[in-house]
């Protein structure tokens, strides 16, 4: 008997033994209805034209010849397409080709449900190289500029209105995108903004930032979504077969629980404010400092609501609306001032809110001795500041934390009865602490109570939070920062918990800058109310 005959006989014996076995091998629950060969035909890749979005090629899982590592899809916390990566043969594809990835679903239209939609971002030079597609939020909408650059926009009843106009522009280059009244959740935030040659993604980021806690994305079904994060809590029981919970050590290195903002006033003085994370009392203070000014964050300064009274020799006079606006125009030596002919006459501003500093200026004629203007604060804020002859009409900034109800008084002193003086600015101002707190949210680095992932069989819907149950241990609920779909044999869903990607300082400053036009809109909307 030769070796070939011996091997054939051994193979026949093994096959016969397998046939006589009455008990099939144990397999995971999600494999029970997905035999090995069928698993590779349960999903497909559709490729489309970069410009028209028309489907040009459909490749099933077997023809794609994806490597054993499979195809990985990542969704963001809003349920939108973030990325898809795989290695294998997917035919000849163009740069920025449309990519849709579907799985079979008997309950979906035509039996397929789309898990990802995006554009090809990485096209390898070799046939078996890695490919990557990114969702429209993370690629194409960053590449497309907003057409309506510059110009004044009309205030809208809700920020979803200008969002819709921006999306209409995007559809010219991305005709597959769609939005409905249901996918644009009303934010109950009135306003609009100017578009100064920025990308569509940047414009949408700016509008979205006006509603703290909300976000926008492009979902796998090619619909645009704006609203709160996914409001679904999934329960993951680690004791169930096929479920895996992997937690990693939580690293608190580089923890940030406080952000100190420093704003420079005219003349070099500084105003500081500290934003604090709610968990600071628990974790302790660990802070960073960020410097801001009128150029980098023009919307961060607010005018304190103020009422004025002029005290003259002939009695008290309330300035007209036009004069009130002149006193708060932020320009030293405005087009006209409030003139006083006699020494000792004053202008008093009563603060109807908190102020961090007072900006003031004035002018006066010749006098002997030298005329002067003096600012005096009272009722909870004390101090004086005098502007003499050499400082005529130059803006002064007096650093003082003045509570509501405090008064700021400008007094004109002259050397003779002929000299006249003018008050051209008396403007209590403060930092927009609400905006600074919103920007600080992006800078805080607070360790999550738990970090890692929870993997479950099959393709499950995205979740905003997951409750993890483990035998013999207390259960916990943690925020989901991303949902992964692993299209391999067998298919799995992985919920990622822990920290999100750290933002750049540029993204933080964008939150502040994007409020500039919103303030202008609010002023326009409220101008008829007598403010």
The reported pLDDT for the residue numbered 219 is 95
What's the chain's average pLDDT? 75
Q: Which residues pair with 195 in a beta bridge?
A: 149
Q: How does DSSP classify residue 493?
A: E
Determine the pLDDT at residue 329: 74
pLDDT at 324: 82
For residue 379, the model assigns a pLDDT of: 63
Contact (Cβ atoms closer than 8 angstroms) between residue 261 and residue 481: no
The Cα–Cα gap between 411 and 441 comes to 43
Which DSSP category does 69 fall into?
T
Q: What percent of the chain has pLDDT over 70?
A: 68
Integer Cα distance of 409 and 350 in angstroms:
9
Q: Which residues pair with 312 in a beta bridge?
A: 315
Least confident of 173-177, 304-308, 448-452, 470-474: 448-452
Question: Helix, strand, or coil here: 155?
Answer: coil
Quick one: DSSP state of residue 102?
Answer: E
10-56 pLDDT per residue, tens: 444 444 444 333 322 222 233 222 223 333 448 899 999 999 999 99
Per-residue pLDDT tens for 317-364?
888 888 888 787 755 444 445 655 466 778 888 888 888 888 877 766
Higher-confidence residue of 138 and 181: namely 138
Which residue reads 């040659």 in tokens? 197
Residue 411 and residue 450: Cα distance in Å, rounded?
61
* Nearest Cα residue to 365 out of 327, 416, 312, 310: 416
Can you list the positions of beta strands (E) in 304-416?
Answer: 306-312, 315-317, 338-340, 346-351, 355-364, 372-378, 383-387, 396-402, 407-413
User: ω into residue 369 within 30 of 0, thus cis?
Assistant: yes
* 410 within 8 A of 347, measured Cβ to Cβ: yes
State yes or no: pLDDT of 394 exceeds 70.
no
Average of per-residue pLDDT across 487-513:
67
Tokens in use for 248?
């990693």
What whole-number distance in Å separates Cα of residue 380 and Cα of residue 305?
17
At residue 381, what are phi and psi to the nearest 5 degrees? -135, 120
Average pLDDT over residues 198-217: 85
- With b for 16 or more beta-carbon neighbours within 10 A and e for fewer, the 88-112 pattern comes to bebeebeebbbbbbbbeeeeeeeeb
Summarize pLDDT for 288-300 with one digit per residue, the tens. Answer: 998 887 776 667 8
Which of 9, 187, 33, 71 lies closest to 485 in space, CA to CA?
71
Contact in structure between 426 and 412 (CB atoms under 8 Å) = no
> pTM of the entire structure?
0.65
**What is the token pair recorded at 426?**
């008396």
Residue 497 phi/psi, 5-degree rounding, is -120, 150
Token pair in block for residue 398: 């007096």
The pLDDT value recorded for residue 259 is 92
- Tokens representing 313 are 């020799």
**Biggest alpha carbon distance in the chain?**
134
Give 247's pLDDT tier (boundaries 50, 70, 90).
confident
Q: What are phi and psi of 224, to 5 degrees?
A: -85, 135
Secondary structure of residue 108 in the 3-state scheme: coil
Is residue 350 classed exposed, middle or buried when 0-12, 13-18 and 19+ CB atoms within 10 A define those classes? middle
**By mean pLDDT, which of 51-55, 138-142, 338-342, 478-482 is the weakest?**
338-342
Tell which wins on pLDDT, 145 or 373.
145
Mean pLDDT throughout 221-234? 91
pLDDT at 506 over 80: no
**Reduced 3-state DSSP string for 277-288:** CCCHHHHCCCEE
Task: With CA atoms as reference, report the closest residue to 70 among 500, 467, 485.
Answer: 485
N-terminal to C-terminal alpha carbon distance within the chain? 106
Calpha distance 462→70 (Å, rounded): 20
Residue 501 or 225, more confident: 225
Q: How many angstroms separate the CA atoms of 480 and 483, rounded?
A: 7
Per-residue confidence (pLDDT) for residue 246, from 0 to 100: 87
Q: How far apart are CA 391 and CA 396, in angstroms?
A: 9
Q: Are 483 and 442 in contact (CB under 8 A)?
A: no
Q: Which residue has the higher pLDDT, 115 or 425?
A: 115
Instruction: Kindly state the tokens that stand for 445.
Output: 């680095």
Q: Looking at residues 115-120, what average pLDDT do you find?
A: 95
Query: Two tokens at 420?
Result: 């006249």
Beta bridge partners of 332: none
Dihedral (C-alpha) 30, 31, 32, 33: value to the nearest 10 degrees?
80
Residues 358, 360, 362: CA angle, nearest 5 degrees: 165
Question: 6-10: long-range contacts at Cβ-Cβ below 8 A with a sequence spacing of 24 or more?
Answer: none
Cα Rg, the chain, nearest whole Å: 33
């Amino acid at each position: 008997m030769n070796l070939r005959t011996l091997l054939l006989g051994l193979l026949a014996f093994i096959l016969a033994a397998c046939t006589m076995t009455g008990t099939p091998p144990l397999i995971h629950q999600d494999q029970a209805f997905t035999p090995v060969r069928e698993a590779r035909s349960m999903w497909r890749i559709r490729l489309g034209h970069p410009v028209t979005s028309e489907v040009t090629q459909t490749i099933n899982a077997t023809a794609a010849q994806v490597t054993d590592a499979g195809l990985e899809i990542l969704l963001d916390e809003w349920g939108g397409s973030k990325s898809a990566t795989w290695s294998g043969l997917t035919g000849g594809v163009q740069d920025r080709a449309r990519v849709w990835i579907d799985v079979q679903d008997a309950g979906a239209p035509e039996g397929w449900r789309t898990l990802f939609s995006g554009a090809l971002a990485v096209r390898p030079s070799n046939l078996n190289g890695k490919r990557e597609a990114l969702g429209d939020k993370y690629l194409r909408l960053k590449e497309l500029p907003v057409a309506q650059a510059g110009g004044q926009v009309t205030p809208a009843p809700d920020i979803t209105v200008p969002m819709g106009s921006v999306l209409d522009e995007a559809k010219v280059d991305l005709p597959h995108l769609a939005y409905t009244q249901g996918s644009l959740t009303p934010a109950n935030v009135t306003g609009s903004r100017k578009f100064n040659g920025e990308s569509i993604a940047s414009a949408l980021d700016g509008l979205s930032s006006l509603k703290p806690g909300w976000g926008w994305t492009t979902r796998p079904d090619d619909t645009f979504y704006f609203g709160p994060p996914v409001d679904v809590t999934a329960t993951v029981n680690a004791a169930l077969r096929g479920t895996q919970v992997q937690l990693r050590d939580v690293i608190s290195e580089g923890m940030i629980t406080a952000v100190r903002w420093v704003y420079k006033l005219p003349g070099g003085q500084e105003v500081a404010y500290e934003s604090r994370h709610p968990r600071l009392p628990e974790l302790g203070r660990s802070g960073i400092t960020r410097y801001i000014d009128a150029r980098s964050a023009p919307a961060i300064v607010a005018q304190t609501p103020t009422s004025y009274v002029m005290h003259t020799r002939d009695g008290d006079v309330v300035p007209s609306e036009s004069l009130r606006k002149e006193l708060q125009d932020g320009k030293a030596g405005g087009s006209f001032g409030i003139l006083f002919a006699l020494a000792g006459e004053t202008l008093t501003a009563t603060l109807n809110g908190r102020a961090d500093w007072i900006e003031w200026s004035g002018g006066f004629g010749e006098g002997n001795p030298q005329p002067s203007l003096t600012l005096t604060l009272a009722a909870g804020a004390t101090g004086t500041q005098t502007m003499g002859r050499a400082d005529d009409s130059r803006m002064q900034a007096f650093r003082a934390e003045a509570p509501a109800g405090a008064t700021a008084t400008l007094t004109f002193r002259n050397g003779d009865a002929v000299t006249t003086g003018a008050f051209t600015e008396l403007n209590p101002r403060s930092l927009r602490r609400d905006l600074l707190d919103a920007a600080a949210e992006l800078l805080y680095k607070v360790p999550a109570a738990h970090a890692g992932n929870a993997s479950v069989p099959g393709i499950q819907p995205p979740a905003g939070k997951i409750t993890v149950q483990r035998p013999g241990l207390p259960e916990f609920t943690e925020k989901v920062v991303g949902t992964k779909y692993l299209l391999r044999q067998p298919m799995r869903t992985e919920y990622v918990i822990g920290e999100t990607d750290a933002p750049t300082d540029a993204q933080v400053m964008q939150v502040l800058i994007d409020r500039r036009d919103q303030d202008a809109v609010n002023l326009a909307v409220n101008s008829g109310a007598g403010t």
